[in-house]
Amino acid sequence: MKNTYIFTPEAKGFLIKGFIVGLILLAIGIAMNWNAGVGGGDHHGHAATLRTHLIANIYTVVLYGFWIGVTALFFLSATTLALGGWHIQIQKVLLAIGGTLPFSILLLAIFFAVFNHDLFHWTHDLYDPNSATYDAILASKRDYLNMGRFWVFAIAIFVLVLGLYFLWNKNLNEMDTNPSVKLFDKSRAIAAASIFILAMLVNTFGSWDWAMSIQPHWYSTMFSWYLMASAAVGMFSILFIIVFYLKKNDYLPHVNENHQHDVAKYMFAISIFWTYVWFSQFMLIWYANIPEETIYFTKRLHGYAFMFYISLALNFILPFLALMKRDSKRKSKLVLTIAVFIIIGHWFDFFNMIVPELIEGGGGFNLISVGAFVALASVFIYIALTTLSKYKDLSSSTHPYIKESYGHHI
Amino acid sequence: MSTTNKFLVGMFDDDQTLLKAVESAKNSGIEIAEAFTPFPVHGLEHKMGLRPTKLHTAGFVFGATGLVTAFSLMAFANAVNYPTNYGGKPTFALPAWIPIMFELTVLFSAVGMVISFYYLCNLYPGKQPKIIDPRLTDNMFALTFDISGDNEQTSKITEFLNNEGAVEVFEKDI
C-alpha cells in the first residue's frame, strides 16, 4: 500500500508541457495584441495597451489561485472545527492546495509593489483639489483608499495567511509522526483562529482592497462573500480532480465513492450559494437602477456580455442540472468533467470581476488570457503536487478520527 | 385496511445481529416482509435489497411545476393581461421574478414531497397505528415475515430466527 505520494516524472512532464503550451499561447497572444492601444484613445477615453492586457489577465489568475488556497485552508478549518471525520483521508490534499499560498502571495506582492498604478485607479493623483485629475468622490474615501493603509492590510493578510498555513502544516505533520489527542485539540484551536482570520479579515479586506477597489467608485456589500464563494467552488473542483488522480494511481485505498460524493455535494451546494450571491448582487442593483451602482454591470454587459452569461451557464446551470441527482454525484468521471468546467467557469467569473474594469468596452478576453491561465494553473498544480509529495503519510492514517473516515457511508 | 395478515416477528436487541440475520435470510431464500428499527441502521436498505426511493424525482417534478406556475402567473398578469408602467420599468421583468419563482419552487416541492411521503407510507389524519411491539421505538429491532398463506414456513423461520440470535419470536395478526 502506497502511502507517500510520488510526483512521477510523467506527471511533472505533463505539467511542464502545460506550462510551455501556456507560454506559447501567451506569446501568440502578445504578438496578436502587439499594437493594442497604440494610437491612443477609443470612445472611452483611453485604450488598453498590451501592458494592461498582460497585467489584467495574469493578475486575474493569481488572485483566483490565492483565493483557492485561502478557501482550502478555510474548508480544512471549518470541517476540523465541526469535528468532521470524513475528510481526514483527503485533508493532506487540502493542505497541499494551501501550499500554493506562498507562491501566490509572492506574485501578489510583486503586483502591488510594481504594478499598482496599472491595477488601481485610486493610486493616481486624485486627492489634491488643485490637481487636474482631482476626484471629489474618491477624495472622500482617501482615509481608506491610500497606499499606506493598503500595504499595512496587505502585509497583515500575507503574514496571517502564511502563518496559518505553516501552523496547519506543522500540526498535521506532527500528527503523522506522533499522534495524540492533545495535538488534535491544538489543531481545533488553529481551526478556530483560521476561520475568524480567513473569513473575517482576509476575505473581507482582501477582496475589498484587491478586487473591489479596482472599480473604486462602486461598492457592494456582497462582494467579498461572492468572491470567496466563487473561489470555493473552484477549490472543491480542484480537490476532486486531485483526489481522482490519486485514486487512479492507487493512492488513498480507503477513499471510495462516499468521500467523492461528499466533495461533489460541496461543489453542487457552493455553486448554488455562489449563484445566490451573484444574483442577489445583480438583482438589487438592476431593480434599484441607480447609475452609480449600475455602472459595474454596464461595463460587463457592454463588451463582455458573452463572458457574463457563459459564467452563469458554467457555474450555475451546468452543475445544478448535472450534479442534482445522487447517482450522478457518485459517477466520478461525470463529476470530473463538471469539475473542469467549473474551474474554467469561475476563472471567467474572476475575469468578470477584474478585466472589464481595466480593459473597457470588450476585447479583454483573448489568447493572453488563455495562455496566462494555462501556464499559471500548471505552476499552481505543480506546486500543490510537490507539496503533496512531501507528506510522509498521505492519508493521515494515524489521525484520531481516521476510523470515522474509513467507515464513512452516505 | 380491513384485511389482516399473519406475521412472524423476530425481536433482536442489536443492530449488527439484525444486519447479519438479514444477510443470511437473503442467502437462504427466506423472504423478509419488513424490518423495524428505532433508528436508521446504515447499510440495511442495501442488505434488504430495497429499490432506491423515487421521492426525489417527485420532488423535482413538483419543484418544476412551482417554477412554471410562478413564472406563467407573473408573466401573464404583469406583461400580458394588465401591463402597468411603474416608472418606465419593463413589464417583462424576469430578474425581479426570480425570487418568487424560487420561493414557489421550494413551496411546491416541499409540500408535494410531504404529501407524497404520507401517501407512500399509507399515512393520513386519523389513521389507527398498527403496532407490532412498543419496544421497537426504544431499544429493540425486529424482522417480520408474512406467514398468512403458508403454515409450514413458520417452524422453519422460527428455527432460523433462533439460530440468528433473536431474543424473542412470536406471531402477530395485523
Q: What's the grid cell of residue A231?
A: 473561489
Inside any domain, residue A2: no
* Inter-chain Cβ pairs, chain A and chain B, closer than 8 A: 18
Q: Which pLDDT tens digit goes with each residue over B121-158?
A: 888 888 888 888 888 899 899 999 888 776 677 888 88
Within a domain: A134 = no
Contact A59, A213 (CB under 8 A): no
CA–CA separation, A407 and A255 (whole Å):
10
List the domains of chain B with CATH numbers.
6-51+129-173 (3.30.70), 55-120 (no CATH)
A234 CB contacts (<8 Å, ≥6 apart)? A64, A68, A71, A342, A343, A346, A347
Residues 7-66, chain B, touching A (beta carbon < 8 A): 42-43, 52, 56, 60
Assigned domain for A41 exists: no
User: pLDDT exceeding 90 applies to what percent of chain B?
Assistant: 37
Region class of A7: left (phi > 0), else alpha (psi between -120 and 50), else beta: beta
Q: How far is CA A367 from CA A32, A53, A65, in A?
A: 8, 10, 19
Predicted confidence at residue B1, as pLDDT, reads 45
Mean pLDDT for all residues in chain A: 92
Residue A51 lies in a domain: no
The CA distances from residue B13 to A173, A186, B48, B122, B136, in Å, are: 43, 39, 18, 28, 10
Closest-CA distance, A349 to chain B, in angstroms, reads: 19
Mean per-residue pLDDT for B67-78?
Answer: 96
Q: What does the pLDDT read at residue A67?
A: 96
Asked if residue A259 lies in contact with residue A404, where contact means CB atoms within 8 angstroms, the answer is: no
Provide the shortest C-alpha distance from residue B140 to chain A (in Å). 23
Long-range contacts from A195-200, C-beta under 8 angstroms, 24+ separation: A195/A74, A195/A77, A195/A78, A195/A81, A197/A160, A197/A161, A197/A164, A198/A70, A198/A73, A198/A74, A198/A77, A198/A161, A198/A164, A199/A74, A199/A228
Report the distance separating Cα A335 and Cα A341, nearest Å. 10
Dist CA A88 CA A121 (whole Å): 44
Residues of B in contact with A283 (CB under 8 A): 95-96, 98-99
Domain range enclosing A100: 9-36+59-129+155-406
Main-chain phi, psi angles of B170, to 5 degrees: -150, 165
Q: How many domains does chain A have?
A: 1
pLDDT at res. A229: 95
Structural domain includes residue A136: no
Residues of chain B neighbouring A265 (CB-CB closer than 8 A): none
Give B-chain residues touching A409 at CB under 8 angstroms.
42-43
| CB nearest B95 (choices: A283, A325, A326) | A283
Q: Which chain A residues have a beta carbon less than 8 Å from that of B96?
A: 283, 286-287
- Tell me what percent of the residues of chain B surpass a pLDDT of 70: 97
pLDDT, residue A391, reads 92
Report the candidate in A1, A119, A9 with the shortest Cα–Cα distance to residue A58.
Answer: A119
> Is residue A253 in a domain?
yes
Whether residue A271 contacts residue A233, with contact meaning beta carbons closer than 8 Å, is answered with: yes
B120 pLDDT higher than 60: yes
Is A267 within 8 Å of A338 (Cβ atoms)?
yes
Contacts of A50 (CB under 8 A, 6+ apart): A30, A33, A34, A36, A37
The answer to whether position A43 is within a domain reads no
ipTM: 0.76
Interchain contact A284–B (C-beta under 8 A): no
Residue spans of chain A under pLDDT 50:
40-45
Using the beta-carbon criterion (under 8 Å), do A283 and B56 form an inter-chain contact? Answer: no
Contact A283 B96 (CB under 8 A): yes
* Region of residue B170 (left: phi > 0; alpha: psi -120 to 50; beta: else): beta
pLDDT on residue B174: 78
pTM of the model: 0.89
**Confidence check: pLDDT of B23 > 50:** yes
Determine contact: B98 vs chain A, CB below 8 A.
yes
pLDDT average, residue stretch B53-68? 93
Closest C-alpha among A361, A365, A306, A314 to residue A340: A314
Contact A287 B60 (CB under 8 A): no
In a domain, A283, yes or no: yes
Interface with A, mutate which of B46, B56, B106 (most A CBs under 10 A) = B56
Q: What is the pLDDT of residue A46?
A: 59
